[in-house]
Amino acid sequence: MTSAPEPSAAVTLLTLGGTIFMTQDPAGRHAAPDAEAGSRLSRIPIAGVELAHHEIANVSSSDVRPRHLREVLEHARRAVDEGADGVVLTHGTDTLEESAFLLNRYWDRTAPLVVTGAMRPASALGADGPANLHDAVSTAAASPARGLGVLVVFDGLVHLADQVTKVSSRSVSAFASAPAGPVAMVDGGDVQLLHRPLGGAARSQEPLPETLPEVPMMMAGLDEDFSLLDSLAPRAVEGLVIAGVGMGHVSPAAMPRLRRLLDAGTPVVVATRIASGGTSTHHYAYPGSEVDLLGAGAVMAGFLPPAKARLLLQTLLAADAVPEQIRASFDAFAS
């Protein structure tokens, strides 16, 4: 009998749960975390890779907190420093893009930290978890992925953490990247770069806090004047993110309320609720437009969607960043 070849790469698998580690009831509904599903999936052999598994939690993505991600970073750094070629993290898909973005602010190793998950529970017909895990592990062990920071691997494609967005609540092709598209594809065990990314935004030199500052999000829209801000006590929040319309616009009636916040020293970041294109700095100059908001002291989020803009502002506030530092950090994502 021919013995199996020795593994040529070592990858550490960290797990936070998510649909990839869930099973359904006999009727094919009501998916919930299942420890046995996670254990079975983590034992799937992947050719040429020695896989070590450590469970951090088995929760839905809506229950992931900064403390979980802080623990991910601690384990991932230790694994790489002890010789792992890369690290894979399983995560629920609902907030996967946010966790990947937040981890990328703090990941300071050349080895890849790859986030993956599944849209179908482990018990479902056509479950996509095994294939996604295989591709994520292959990416974590691949030399082309080194130096790219935190990556998201889903449905055979590799995405940069700062550009990936969940675009479907049902399809197994749930993630896409804007504006540049996926950075690579996985073909069997091979990872093929599709383009070489430009230098990314600066990483934080501070540790990831266990909790983040209070920064709510508000969405602009027809007949939305942000009157809720009238009942907000001074300094009740540490910052505010607006999901603006168009290139980052709000109603004229909202401007006095936002100016009061800005004049009191509360940072206001304006993103757009539109899926692609980002915010502008110069296209429109009517009341409530980006030029008006910038003149009042707001910061435009560029290509960052509202959820990621919120996380970036939270990490900056946690590090006691001054207004100039906040503006410069968002300029890295300018459109």
Residue pair 72/37 in contact (Cβ under 8 Å)? The answer is: no
Judged on CB neighbours under 10 Å (0-12, 13-18, 19+), 282 is exposed
Is 19 a known active-site residue? yes
Q: How far apart are CA 99 and CA 107, in angstroms?
A: 12
Write the DSSP symbol of residue 214. -
Q: How far apart are CA 270 and CA 249, in angstroms?
A: 8
Q: Tokens 């990328």 appear where?
A: 104
Q: Tokens 């983040």 appear where?
A: 212
* Dihedral class, residue 226 (left if φ above 0, else alpha if ψ from -120 to 50, else beta): left
Write the DSSP symbol of residue 245. B
SS3 312: helix
Q: Which residues contact 116 (CB under 8 A, 6 or more apart)?
A: 20, 88, 89, 90, 91, 132, 133, 135, 136, 152, 153, 154
Q: How far apart are CA 165 and CA 260, in angstroms?
A: 32
Containing H/E element for 57? Answer: strand 49-59
User: Which of 12, 15, 19, 272 is flagged as catalytic?
Assistant: 19
- Where in the sequence numbering do the catalytic residues fall? 19
